[in-house]
Amino acid sequence: MTISSSGPSTSAADEAKRARIRASLARRHLTERIFKGLGVAAVVTALALVGTLFWMVISKGYPAFTQANVALEVYFDPEIIDVDAAPVRAAGQSDADFRAQNLAWQRQVTLANWNAIVEQAVRDAAPAGFEIDARSALALVETGERHRLRDLFVANPALLGQRVPVEMLASANTDNWLKGTINRDLEDSRQQLSAQTRALADQLLENGTISFKFAWHIFTNVDSRSAPASAGLAGAFVGSLYMMLIVILLAVPIGVASAIYLEEFAPKNRWTDLIEVNINNLAAVPSIVFGLLGAAAFIQYFGLPRSAPIVGGLVLTLMTLPTIIIATRSSLRAVPPSLRQAALGLGASKTQMVFHHVLPVTLPGILTATIIGVAQALGETAPLLIIGMNAFVASIPATPFDQASALPAQIYLWQGNENRNFFEARTSAAIMVLLALMLALNAIAVLLRRRLERRG
Amino acid sequence: MDMMAGKFAANVTPLEEGMSLSDHPIRLEARDVCVHYGAKQALYDVSIDIPDRAVTAFIGPSGCGKSTFLRCINRMNDTIEGARVTGRIALDGEDVYDRSLDVVELRARVGMVFQKPNPFPKSIFENVAYGPKIHGMVRNKAEAEEVVVSSLKRAGLFEEVKDRLHEPGTGLSGGQQQRLCIARAIATRPEVLLMDEPCSALDPIATAIIEELIDELRENFTIVIVTHSMQQAARVSQKTAFFHLGKLIEEGDTANIFTNPAKKQTQDYIMGRIG
Ligand SMILES: Nc1ncnc2c1ncn2[C@@H]1O[C@H](COP(=O)(O)OP(=O)(O)OP(=O)(O)O)[C@@H](O)[C@H]1O
Ligand SMILES: [Mg+2]
């Protein structure tokens, strides 16, 4: 063969073929551009929706993290706190005897008119000549604060007759008024606070007696009905934490073990097909049905307490199991058969094959599945309502067997609170805490994944 | 025929002086082996004896069932869904499909190099050390290292990877992966070694190293090799079996098969007329 000196020769057929390719190229590139465009549009839409959601929640919720505080000077007036001297332990007095005496004294202290003390402190803080009736004065401060004064006194009876600066939470209504979460132009009859209280609140804010501070008590207090301004998430947070722990401790090992057994060891027959179909069905069962199941099985049959994280955790475990099993199985199935053959061909047993070779490469996938399952469980509300976790619980559960609420149930409760103006922001704040918990969970998963992948 | 004799005779490795294949005891014995994949039959009544301490080559066109038959010997077909094996295969007179036989032990005795390189997604070191470790052949790191280095050396890979023994084996080139898999297979010192096209991705120099290795292993082990290279079959094997469309057409001394095939199909294949 010789190469012609006039450059490569092209036949008419070659030319026609190239033209055809060029013609189809335009169409192919167009298809590609359309597809890319659609993809970008989808991603942008999703991001925009997530962004809007976060923006809405954060913009609504962040005011709840600061709250009006009233810096008052409290006079522990001996005329109002008309109680005996605190008991002192006499020589030779028995322990029980002293405790009984002390309790009696404390009861006496509780019966003192602490509202009068608070009222007096508010009057003292008011500008000279400000006229205010007792009710209006008390409405400025959160009702629970009188208990704090009592506790201060019990802890230190020497306060009697002294003037002490005490920073108190303003009432929820005062907070609303000052933040403007209630319409300030509404007529008197429709305002929660009297005109006197509102005027006083405005003046105190101006002179610095009232100031906005970070509301730590959202994290440290439990829910409260009588003193909504001091309501916090601690009980619900711990309840959710217990349930999460139960889900992780039960659903993850059981789910992963079942998936491994079904995928790697179980014979493929009608029984395993049946199991597979049922697991898929279980994953599609609405969560509220799991709640009913939990109420019937765990509470009525096994006699576990209502509203307890243990029951919630078990119900959520049942709900999460299918998710974890299905996701783990699909990540096991994604392992190429050649890897299994390599291990078996060397004389590894099936168990060695699974634990030395298959699991390490699927661990990141299993981890992701687990986190998704646990996050789902963490945000689940419907089944919790059925097992009574929306009950009002004003304590931090010490064990998973104690009554508790959970974050999503708490959100549901606050969302339905009659003081809408105050709890709208609170609800969003609770959602932020829940989201933060989930993001933290995801961050842990990403970190673990990175470490696993680096090691593998 | 003369032309063929001239083409391959020079290549054929003779057995030791004064020995013929019939002096080698039979290590593996296959009788009427049939394999079905689902409804499709892939192997028809294959019966063959594999001699001890010799190299047996399986040749034949693509898709004729060489790999399938190889997988019957160490029961790797068990792992393929829908595969069904009938007939009898005996290793040292013991039926490998017997219920009482432990398949894990069988595979420890019968090693395999797969057609497609399949290193573990672990370090080169761990790839080679894994077999000896699980079989309790090494007790500490030093012993493991010794096995790894000598296996890699014999597979002709050591010089290329000695500085990155702890990097992933999956990061090697195709041919390097193939040699890694060979090193991994010989590290467990199997009594029978099944090699499915072990040199398909290797250059002539690496191929020569592997062929040398096979020659050396033959002194102590039984080797079955699948190859598409007639030259390779002629060079390394003492016995050759020709498969076609799932049937064993002809088997015998390599020298005989290449110089004087009994069947026309064999002759056509060797001469490059079918394949
Ligand atoms: N896992 C499987 N499932 C179904 N059929 C298979 C499977 N493996 C092999 N076969 C079929 O069995 C027949 C023999 O295949 P085999 O892999 O043994 O051929 P081979 O001789 O090794 O070919 P090659 O030289 O291309 O590797 C082929 O027709 C193939 O399609
Ligand atoms: Mg093959």
pLDDT, tens digit (0-9, with 9 covering 90-100), for B2-51: 444 445 544 555 555 445 666 778 889 999 999 999 999 999 999 999 99
pLDDT (tens digit, 9 = 90+) per residue, A378-395?
Answer: 888 888 988 888 888 888
B60 CA to centre of ligand 2 in angstroms: 10
B 231-270 residues with CB below 8 A of A? Answer: none
Q: What b/e sequence results for A38-70 when a residue is b if at least 16 CB atoms lie within 10 Å of its CB, and e otherwise?
A: eeeeeeeeeeeeeeeeeeebeebbebbbebbbb
| Residue B236 reports pLDDT greater than 70 | yes
Are A270 and A210 part of one and the same domain?
no
Are A330 and A428 part of one and the same domain?
yes
A226 falls within a domain: no
pLDDT (tens digit, 9 = 90+) per residue, B99-148?
Answer: 888 999 999 999 999 999 999 999 999 999 999 999 999 999 999 999 99
Angle at A97 between CA A94 and CA A99, to 5 degrees: 110
Instruction: Identify the CATH number of the domain in which residue A369 sits.
Output: 1.10.3720.10
pLDDT (tens digit, 9 = 90+) per residue, A158-195?
Answer: 888 889 999 999 998 899 898 888 888 888 888 888 88
Cα–Cα distance, A275 to A329 (Å, whole number): 13
Q: How many contacts does A have with B, using Cβ atoms within 8 A?
A: 59
Are A207 and A120 part of one and the same domain?
yes
| The predicted structure's pLDDT at residue B12 | 53
A342 CA to centre of ligand 1 in angstroms: 18
B12 compared with B254, residue with greater pLDDT: B254
Instruction: Identify the CATH number of the domain in which residue B82 sits.
Output: 3.40.50.300
| The predicted structure's pLDDT at residue A304 | 87
B195 falls within a domain: yes
Are A81 and A150 part of one and the same domain?
yes
Nearest by CB: A344 against B107, B116, B181: B107
Are A336 and A376 part of one and the same domain?
yes
Question: Does residue B150 have its Cβ closer than 6 Å to ligand 1?
Answer: no
B72 compared with A130, residue with greater pLDDT: B72
B105 falls within a domain: yes
Ligand 1 pocket: which of B34, B35, B36, B37 to mutate (most atoms within 8 A of CB): B37
pLDDT band at A455 (very low <50, low <70, confident <90, very high): low
Q: Which residues of A touch B196 (CB under 8 A)?
A: none
With pLDDT > 90 as the criterion, what percentage of chain A qualifies?
39
Are A165 and A293 part of one and the same domain?
no
Question: Does residue B227 have its Cβ closer than 6 Å to ligand 1?
Answer: no
Contact at CB, A341 and B118, closer than 8 angstroms: yes
Q: Cα–Cα distances in Å, from A144 out to A156, A169, A232, A427, B193?
A: 19, 9, 13, 21, 83
Residue owning tokens 């009554």:
A403
A4 falls within a domain: no
B232 falls within a domain: yes
Question: Does residue B43 have its Cβ closer than 6 Å to ligand 1?
Answer: no
Angle at A363 between CA A360 and CA A365, to 5 degrees: 135
| Residue A300 reports pLDDT greater than 90 | no
* Residue A344 contacts B where some CB pair is shorter than 8 Å: yes
Are A156 and A289 part of one and the same domain?
no
Q: Which residues of A touch B112 (CB under 8 A)?
A: 345
Cα–Cα distance, B166 to B145 (Å, whole number): 12
pLDDT band at A1 (very low <50, low <70, confident <90, very high): very low
Ligand 1 atom 2, closest CA: B37
A248 falls within a domain: yes
Boundary-marking domain end, from A182, A215, A248: A215
B63 CA to centre of ligand 1 in angstroms: 5
Please tell me the distance in Å from A332's CA to the nearest CA on chain B: 15
| The predicted structure's pLDDT at residue B17 | 45
| The predicted structure's pLDDT at residue A6 | 52
A220 falls within a domain: no
Mutation site for B-interface testing, chosen from A269, A346, A350 by largest number of B Cβ within 10 Å = A346
pLDDT (tens digit, 9 = 90+) per residue, A79-97?
Answer: 888 888 888 888 888 888 8
Boundary-marking domain end, from A29, A44, A62: A62
Are A57 and A175 part of one and the same domain?
no
Contact at CB, A342 and B107, closer than 8 angstroms: no
3-state SS, chain A, equals CCCCCCCCCCCHHHHHHHHHHHHHHHHHHHHHHHHHHHHHHHHHHHHHHHHHHHHHHHHHHHHHHEEEEEEEEEECCCCCCCCCCCCCCCCCCCHHHHHHHHHHHHHHHHHCCHHHHHHHHHHHHCCCCCCCCHHHHHHCECCCHHHHHHHHHHHCHHHCCCEEEEEEEECHHHHHHHHCCCCCCCCHHHCCCCHHHHHHHHHHHHCCCEEEEECCHHHHCCCCCCCHHHCCCHHHHHHHHHHHHHHHHHHHHHHHHHHHHHHHHCCCCHHHHHHHHHHHHHHHCCHHHHHHHHHHHHHHHCCCCCCCHHHHHHHHHHHHHHHHHHHHHHHHHCCCHHHHHHHHHCCCCHHHHHHHHHHHHHHHHHHHHHHHHHHHHHHCCHHHHHCCCCCCCCCCCCCCCCCCCCHHHHHHHHHCCCCHHHHHHHHHHHHHHHHHHHHHHHHHHHHHHHHHHHHC
| Residue B211 reports pLDDT greater than 90 | yes
State the average pLDDT over residues A335-345: 94
Question: Does residue B66 have its Cβ closer than 6 Å to ligand 1?
Answer: yes
State the average pLDDT over residues A271-275: 91
Please tell me the distance in Å from B190's CA to the nearest CA on chain A: 9
Domain count, chain A: 3
A47 falls within a domain: yes
Are A261 and A380 part of one and the same domain?
yes
What is the extent of the structural domain holding A108? 64-215
B62 CA to centre of ligand 2 in angstroms: 7
B16 falls within a domain: no
Are A279 and A417 part of one and the same domain?
yes
pLDDT (tens digit, 9 = 90+) per residue, B54-71?
Answer: 999 999 999 999 999 999
Boundary-marking domain end, from A215, A248, A271: A215
Are A46 and A126 part of one and the same domain?
no
Nearest by CB: A361 against B76, B109, B121: B121
Domain count, chain B: 1
Output the pTM of the full model: 0.81
Question: Does residue B229 have its Cβ closer than 6 Å to ligand 1?
Answer: no
A9 falls within a domain: no
Ligand 1 pocket: which of B62, B67, B71, B229 to mutate (most atoms within 8 A of CB): B67
